[in-house]
Amino acid sequence: MKVSTLGLDLAKNVFQVHGVDDEGNVTVRRQLRRQQMFSFFSELPPCLIGLEACGTSHYWARELAARGHDVRIIPPSYVKPYVRRGKNDAADAEAICEAVGRPNMRFVPVKSEDQQAALMQHKARELLIRQQNMLVNALRSHMAEMGMVAAQGRERLDRIVDVIMEEEDESLPALARASLRPLVAMLQANEAAIDDIDRAIKAAHKENEVSQRLASIPGVGVLTASAIAATVPDPSFFKSGREFAAWLGLVPRQNSSGGKERLGRISKQGNRYLRKLLVIGATSMLSVVRRKSSRQADWAKRLLERKPTRLVTIAMANKAARIAWALMTKKETYRTTAIATAA
């Protein structure tokens, strides 16, 4: 069996394979069970294998690369145009096989186990924060039914928590207190877990040279720096800082035709988490640049004179993304004069 290019549609237990030779003739089209995967690809001569980006694609990319294959991960949106008709595993595998051979196709960098573990910290933290907000809102709404309200902010909730936990306080019925105490316990455990993850992220940041360089950028903190370092294993994967910013969805969506350039809102494609962190950092920096006088601050002030605040925030996030790419590529630390010129 001679295979030069192979498309692999991933799943939990059933996998679909579609392979072609150098002339494009189909040489293999079959299903594989999970327990057959390692034996099949160990016996297969080294070839180009395309995978569609998903939750398990990085694991399988590492395993197949260890067996001598050239593995490429393709974003799902780039595979979809090659699906001819219908939606099934065989059609998806054929589309992946077709897409991976395109000369101008863009691929997803394969992450190592350590990089995936670092990103799991961020994902777990995001989940815990969402749960924290749900618990806080539930406690506020339940206590409001009893006529007890608290001002905005997590620290203002402690007054309500004290009422729930105080046995001798008669302003709250015993049945309501018994119902709300588990929520308070979950909230406290949730906050303790978030603090543990924050300490772990900071400890990993101190040992990561790339993360420390990124944290030197104004508006980029430990959380953002560690997330970028884990998400982008190879910055040379992007040709320029603009391409990196476009990958994060921080460039305007184009709808140009007939020589007329029409730019809309940002595309919001790519990594939503990194884009959110960069925008939050730029928003916090905006209040600082209004009081400071520097090259970057003066640029932001001039932009504020003629553009809305939110647009300036996005522009600052775009600039931070470009600077981050430059620092990762050149292996340098942020310097105001040098980076301002390069960006």
**Is 168 part of a structural domain of the chain?**
yes
Crossing angle for the helix pair 174-206 and 222-231, to the nearest 10 degrees: 60
Cβ atoms within 10 Å of 194's Cβ, excluding its own: 16
**Is 146 part of a structural domain of the chain?**
yes
Of the residues 67, 100, 133, which one is the last residue of a structural domain? Answer: 100
> Do 216 and 297 share a domain, yes or no?
yes
> Do 201 and 214 share a domain, yes or no?
no
pLDDT category, 303, cuts 50, 70, 90? confident
Of the residues 74, 100, 126, which one is the last residue of a structural domain? Answer: 100
Q: Which residue do the tokens 């618990």 mark?
A: 135
> Do 123 and 43 share a domain, yes or no?
no
**Is 243 part of a structural domain of the chain?**
yes
At 186, phi and psi to the nearest 5? -65, -40
Cβ atoms within 10 Å of 307's Cβ, excluding its own: 13
**Please, is 158 exposed, middle or buried when counting C-beta atoms within 10 Å of its C-beta (0-12, 13-18, 19+)?**
exposed
Between CA 49 and CA 37 the distance in angstroms is 13
Task: Please state, for a pLDDT cut of 90, what percent of the chain lies above it.
Answer: 62
Of all helices (H) and strands (E), which one includes residue 7?
A: strand 5-9
Cβ atoms within 10 Å of 237's Cβ, excluding its own: 14
Helix extents (H) in the chain: 37-43, 57-65, 76-79, 89-100, 113-145, 158-165, 174-206, 209-214, 222-231, 241-247, 272-289, 295-304, 309-330, 336-342
pLDDT of the residue at 337? 53
Could you list the residue range(s) of the whole structural domain that residue 298 is in? 209-342
> Do 327 and 260 share a domain, yes or no?
yes
> Do 221 and 336 share a domain, yes or no?
yes
CB 211 within 8 A of CB 205: yes
- The conformational region for residue 302 under phi > 0 = left, psi -120 to 50 = alpha, else beta, is alpha
Average pLDDT over residues 69-88: 91
> Do 149 and 221 share a domain, yes or no?
no
> Do 233 and 328 share a domain, yes or no?
yes
What average pLDDT does the chain have? 89
**CATH code, 57:** 3.30.420.40
**Is 107 part of a structural domain of the chain?**
no
> Do 191 and 239 share a domain, yes or no?
no
Contacts 24+ apart (CB under 8 A), 208-217: 210/328, 213/327, 213/328, 213/331, 213/332, 213/333, 213/334, 214/324, 214/327, 214/328, 216/327, 216/333, 216/334, 217/320, 217/323, 217/324, 217/327, 217/334, 217/339
**Please, is 61 exposed, middle or buried when counting C-beta atoms within 10 Å of its C-beta (0-12, 13-18, 19+)?**
buried
**Is 138 part of a structural domain of the chain?**
yes
**Is 108 part of a structural domain of the chain?**
no
**Is 272 part of a structural domain of the chain?**
yes
> Do 190 and 216 share a domain, yes or no?
no
Q: Which residues, other chains included, contact 186 with Cβ-Cβ below 8 Å and sequence gap of 6+? A: 131, 135
**Is 106 part of a structural domain of the chain?**
no
> Do 214 and 327 share a domain, yes or no?
yes
Cβ atoms within 10 Å of 255's Cβ, excluding its own: 10
pTM as predicted: 0.83
DSSP bridge pairs for 252: 266
Cβ atoms within 10 Å of 299's Cβ, excluding its own: 17
pLDDT of the residue at 45? 93
At 147, phi and psi to the nearest 5? 85, 15
pLDDT of the residue at 341? 37
> Do 88 and 213 share a domain, yes or no?
no
> Do 263 and 315 share a domain, yes or no?
yes
CA 310 to chain centre: 21
pLDDT > 60? residue 340:
no
Q: Per-residue pLDDT tens for 130-172?
A: 999 999 999 999 999 988 888 888 888 888 898 899 887 778 8
Q: Per-residue pLDDT tens for 199-250?
A: 999 999 999 999 999 999 988 999 999 999 999 988 888 889 999 998 898 8
Average pLDDT over residues 311-324: 91
Between CA 340 and CA 157 the distance in angstroms is 43
DSSP bridge pairs for 19: 6, 28
Number of domains in the chain: 3
Of the residues 30, 65, 100, which one is the last residue of a structural domain? Answer: 100
